[in-house]
Amino acid sequence: MTISKNECLTVYRNVLEHSDQKWESGKQLAKINDFGGATSMAIISVEELVKSLIIFLDGKGFEFRSIKGISTLFDNHQIRYLLAYTMFAMGLFGDELMKFLKKNSRQSKGNNKIKQRNKN
């Protein structure tokens, strides 16, 4: 990529908008029972979302564009799909981990209150 960091902060919005358009197209296709087309649009939307995230973060100083092979993410949709799937899986794992931690935190607070009462 040959755009500046400042340009990244503008360009990512266009890519994100394109992602949103594909997502909405997918929803419309699903409404008319074209589930194959809807799935294709959803995948393209997620791929565009990954691209916009990389461009945005690069604009904020992460310098992803300097990583050897990063252009593959922009040229190869299978790699973007794999990355999006990995991010999705990590998100699910993170959500479940947070639920587990919150649940255990509440249980241990409850156990502490019971122990406090038993001491008195």
Alpha-carbon distance of 110 to 48, in angstroms, equals 46
State what percent of residues in the chain have pLDDT above 90: 35
pLDDT value of residue 113: 58
Segment 77-92 shows an average pLDDT of 79
Specify the higher pLDDT residue, 109 or 17.
17
Q: How confident is the model at residue 32 (pLDDT cuts 50, 70, 90)?
A: very high
Q: How confident is the model at residue 96 (pLDDT cuts 50, 70, 90)?
A: confident
- pLDDT, one tens digit per residue, over 43-80 is 889 888 888 988 999 999 988 878 887 777 777 777 77
Average pLDDT, the chain: 84
pLDDT value of residue 1: 53
Which residue ranges make up each domain of the chain? Answer: 5-115
Q: How confident is the model at residue 15 (pLDDT cuts 50, 70, 90)?
A: very high
